[in-house]
Amino acid sequence: MKQDIFQAIADPTRRAILTLIAIQALTPNAMAEKFDMSRQAVSKHIKVLQECQLIKPEQSGREIYYHFNPKKMQEIDNWLAQFRKIWETQFNQLDNVLSTIKKQKK
């Protein structure tokens, strides 16, 4: 079953994993060393991230390195963009109101 990308990033451990591998590709063992949990627990998080295509595995000899997939993160950014426009409009309106109040006080 394919995981929902937003459910995947809702978990703080998975967000931390994404942050780690955005900097450098890591093996599951290297990731597990960064967390206070078993390698099996980290593997479950990796599985969810991989199912969402947020990370990509790459075999290198006997090791599997997981890489961050920035293209998939673009989906999240695209979704947020609609809200960004609304926020910017509201902030601009607030700036206008505050400027008007400031001018009236002078």
Give pTM, 2 decimals: 0.75
Mark whether 29 and 80 lie in a shared domain: no
Residue 14 · residue 48 · CB < 8 Å: yes
Task: Judge if 11 and 59 occupy the same domain.
Answer: yes
Q: Could you tell me which residue, 4 or 17, shows the higher pLDDT?
A: 17
Q: Please count the structural domains in the chain.
A: 2
Say if residue 60 is in the same domain as residue 75.
no
Domain shared by 21 and 38, yes or no: yes
53 secondary structure, DSSP code: T
Query: Mind listing the pLDDT tens digit for each residue in 62-99?
Result: 999 999 999 988 888 888 898 988 888 888 889 888 88
The four Cα atoms 62, 66, 72, 73 give a dihedral, to 10 degrees, of 180
Lookup: tokens for 73: 């993160």
Do 61 and 97 fall within a single domain?
no
Determine the structural domain holding residue 95 and report its residue range.
70-106
Say whether both 79 and 56 belong to one domain.
no
